[in-house]
Structure formats: structure tokens, C-alpha cells
Amino acid sequence: MGLNAAIELKNISKSFGSIIANKDVCLTVNRGEILSILGENGSGKTTLMNMIAGIYYPDHGQIFIDGKEVVIRSPKDALDYKIGMVHQHFKLVDVFSATENIILGLDEGKFNVKKSAERIKKISEQYGFDIDPNKKIYEMSVSEKQTVEIMKILYRGADVLILDEPTAVLTPQETDKLFAVLRSMRDDGKAIIIITHKLHEVLSLSDRVSVLRKGEYIGTVNTAETNESELTEMMVGKKISLNIDRSDPVDPVDRLVVKDISCINRDGVKLLDDISFTARSGEILGIAGIAGSGQRELLESIAGLQHLNSGEIMYNNPKTGGQANLRDKTPMQIRELGVRLSFVPEDRLGMGLVGNMDIVDNMMLRSYRKGKGAFLERKKPKTLAEKVISDLEVVTPSANTPVRRLSGGTPSTSFPVRRMSGGNVQKVLVGREIAQNPAVLMTAYAVRGLDITTSYVIYNLLTEQKMKGVSVIYVGEDLDVLLELCDRILVINSGKITGLVDARTSTKEELGLLMTKTDGGETHE
């Protein structure tokens, strides 16, 4: 063990039933460094970090802190050893201020909020945080909430920080700010561990990269001595191409014309504010925006799942040449109009698939309105399910078991969807919707939670659909992918369009500025 090692893991293993999450993992994290943990979905990254953070307890193995073996049975134990973790989903009380959230749960007798706020201000100045101690959580941006979460563990004296996908919902400008803060903390001697899928961020931020594959430790490399291709090969065990082959749209035709649509919720808040755009056949239209800017409501309103207060959604039928207004039509009514519309929603199990049903039954859902015979005829759906499993490499023991139980084993169609990993659930959903031969295909965060290999399979599938003349609408988080995959990118903020750009000529920085713009933006293609 090196003199500079903050944490050392020796032969750490963890299983959940028959699923091995981590197997004999050995890992060292040094003080004064940023270590990235890389791996595909299901490689055991988060499980491993959760054991350091006290959320899980290892089945066997040893954890050493500053050379001494320790036992961590809870997050409180971890904090006692000065280890803190910032999760993807924040654990904050909306009606409390930043200060109140930071000191919440501390056993310090009678709280002096003013004194605590002063201490928070000092920590902020030390590392370059931008935080208002008195601001309420519900008034904050995602970036500010994340800052509060980091401050919570710093306030408690943490000098080992674990961040799980910290840039998932940040703009490029916010990401740059966060990275500057993390570098400042590293220079102060703290040990920082980052779990991320974004290879370009790994290369720009970390000092070393450790790779896990199927729960096992593969190796650690110095960031300065590696590249995206090498890291990908370490993650998946083989060379893969990380290229999106973007073709130019061929004879694009206006397929969807959205005019001045607005949507107001029960509280009188405008979720969509006079949105207008055109989606064309044979192109991928990207939609970018900070999480919660109206992306979900926009797609759901087109799919017939969201009531609109004004505007119209015109569909130009490629077969008949006719036009139909889809506003406030139900999904069934949209189908009866002859509209071939497929939708991959953000909520996979809540809206997209039925967790207790197997893959075959989930394939059949698309035809349930055709009468009783649809349920008796399983041959075609089973063939489709087997094709999706084969083409997208869905890991499932059986095609006749509920989808939410899919997590590993020999590929088969009888397995409950609820037991599948998030990545496998998404593959089933995307595969089913593409199989409908749509004229319009909408996807909300189609690769969220997917490993890099599967993500590129999905990107190529969407490109194939585009080349078949489908109008593809792609809502995504990764701006690099949006710029590489899409033809045009629509940017929205707080339910308003702030820009429409040509993906071939735009930049991440431009998109980032449009994502935080508060007034309507000019479109330029």
C-alpha cells in the first residue's frame, strides 16, 4: 500500500442472489487525485462505491483507510471515516434553504443557522463554489442542488468524495465549473472518485482510470497515457467502433408540423409555451435542454398523452397525402387515423412496458385492440421478441418471464421485464417500437443508463430508421452525441424554444448557452 493511499480495497465481493455484482475487486484511491471508475452497465461500479459509502456491506474482502482495516456498515460509519457520496438522485428537502439542508441530521445541539451559513461560505470560497446559503432548494437549478449535496459532505469533514454520474444533467458551462471545483479539491489533497459513462470527460478530468468488467477489476491506467479506443476495449473486452455514420437527409418532407402549442398544468404553470417546429422525414431532429424544460411534455403531447391548451400538431400522411391534426387525440385515435407513430418514453416501466409481463406479451401490447385473437396468436410476437433479443443482445434467461426481472442468464423471451436491468428493458422497448415500421419515431433518453456498446447500437438503429425515410425525434442528454447523431437540434428552456441549430455546424458551447437562455431564441440553420 502506497503512503498516499486514502482507500484500498482487497478482494471485495458482493452478490445479490445468483447475480455476482463484484468479484474479488482490488482497488486503490490516492489522496490528491481524481480517479474515474469506468465500466459497462452491470459491471458493478455503483455497487462497489456503495460499499465504500456504507450503503451495502461486502460479502467478503477488506477495506483499508490510511493503511488501517475498517468496517463500514452504514453511511454514518463512512462519514466517520470522512467518506461521502453524492448520488445521481439528490436527497434534499425542497422547502428548506441550502444551509438547513446541509446541517440537517447533524447532532450539534442547538443549531445556529447564521453561524453555519458563515462556515458554508468559507468552504465555498476555499474551493470556488457558487452558493447562496439562504436560497430555498425549490428555487435552485440542478447545478445548484448538486453543489448543496457536495457541500453537505464537505461540511461533515469528508476528504474522500464519490460522485455518481455528476454531469448527467449539467450544461457544458456548469460541467466546466464543477470540474474546476473538483480540481481545486484534489489540489487540496482530497481523494475524488467519479463514476461516469462519458469518456471525453474521463480524459479531461481524471488522473487515473480504473475499469471494471462484469463485476471484475480489469486494470488501472494513467489518463495521460490512454485514449477512448483503449478504454472502450478494456470495458467490453474487444475493439469496437465509436463512430456514428451520419448521412445527409434524402428528399426530406415535412412530416410533423407543430404550431404554437401550449400546455398548462393544474397549478397554472406553463409547461410548454407557444412551441412551433417542423420534423421532417429522413432526418433526426434532436431536442436539447436542461432536465425538466418541457421535453417530456412535448413528446407526450404529440403521442396523445398530454392535454394541450392551444395550438395544433399536423401530421402529413406519406401514404394518402392527407393531413390530420393530432392535438388531444388519444393514442388509439391517432392509430385509427392511419398515423404510424412510435414512442419510446422516458418512464420505461411506468409507461413503456408492463413489468410483470414477459417480452412476448409486451410485444403483443401493440396489437391488443385488434381483438381476442391477438392474445391467442403468439407466434409473430415471439418471433419479434427473439429478433429483438438477438439483434440487441438482450440478456434474459427466458422470454416468458416478466420483463422487470430481466438481469442475466441465457437469452430467452419468457422472462418478466421487471427483473431486467434498466439497459435490457430499454433494448426491449426500443426494439418493439422500431418493429412497428413507424413514419415518426420519438425517443426520450433512449440510451440513458445504457453502456457504451449498446448506446452505439441504438444510435445506428436510429440512423437506419432515418435512412428509411422515418422522421426521428431524439431527446438526449449528451451534447456530443446530439451534435454527432442529429441533423438539426431544437433547444428548449422552461417550455420555450430558445434556438434551432444545424447540428453539423453548431458547438457544445452554443447549445449550452441556448439551454440556459430565458427568452425565445433565434433559429439558424
Q: Render pLDDT for 106-150 as a digit per residue (tens, 0 to 9).
A: 765 456 788 888 889 888 888 888 888 899 998 888 888 989 999
Q: Three-class SS of residue 241?
A: coil
**Residue 415 banded pLDDT, cuts 50, 70, 90:** low
**Residue 348 banded pLDDT, cuts 50, 70, 90:** low
- Residue with grid cell 467502433, as numbered in its chain: 241
Which tops the pLDDT comparison, 227 or 410? Answer: 227
5-236 and 250-340+437-525 have identical folds? yes
Does the pLDDT value for residue 14 go beyond 80?
Answer: yes
Beta carbons of 317 and 253 less than 8 angstroms apart: no
CA 389 to CA 65: how far, in whole Å? Answer: 44
**Residue 416 banded pLDDT, cuts 50, 70, 90:** low
Burial of 320 from C-beta contacts in 10 A (0-12 / 13-18 / 19+): exposed
pLDDT of residue 422: 58
Write down the architecture of domain 5-236 according to CATH.
Answer: 3-Layer(aba) Sandwich (3.40)
pLDDT of residue 218: 95
Element (H, E) at 136: none
Does the pLDDT value for residue 39 go beyond 90?
Answer: no
Mean pLDDT score across all residues of the chain: 83
Question: pLDDT over 70 for what percent of the chain?
Answer: 81
Q: Where are the domains of the chain?
A: 5-236, 250-340+437-525, 353-436
Which tops the pLDDT comparison, 365 or 21? Answer: 21
pLDDT of residue 352: 55
Does the pLDDT value for residue 282 go beyond 90?
Answer: yes
Number of C-beta neighbours around residue 27 at 10 A: 18
Does the pLDDT value for residue 151 go beyond 50?
Answer: yes
CA 245 to CA 22: how far, in whole Å? Answer: 35
User: According to the per-residue pLDDT averaged within each range, which of 146-150, 272-276, 400-404 is highest?
Assistant: 272-276
Please indicate, yes or no, whether the overall pTM of this predicted structure exceeds 0.75: no
Report the DSSP beta bridge partners of residue 490. Answer: 287, 500
The region of weakest confidence among 178-187, 300-309, 345-354, 411-420 is 411-420
Question: What mean pLDDT is predicted for residues 171-192?
Answer: 90
Which tops the pLDDT comparison, 365 or 188? Answer: 188
Does the pLDDT value for residue 191 go beyond 80?
Answer: yes
Q: Render pLDDT for 475-487 as a digit per residue (tens, 0 to 9).
A: 998 898 999 999 9
pLDDT of residue 266: 83
**Residue 374 banded pLDDT, cuts 50, 70, 90:** very low
CA distances from 210 to 34, 38, 134, 232, 294 (A): 11, 6, 39, 12, 37
Residue 440 grid cell: 415518426
pLDDT of residue 405: 52
Domain 250-340+437-525 has CATH 3.30.420.270: no
**Residue 335 banded pLDDT, cuts 50, 70, 90:** confident
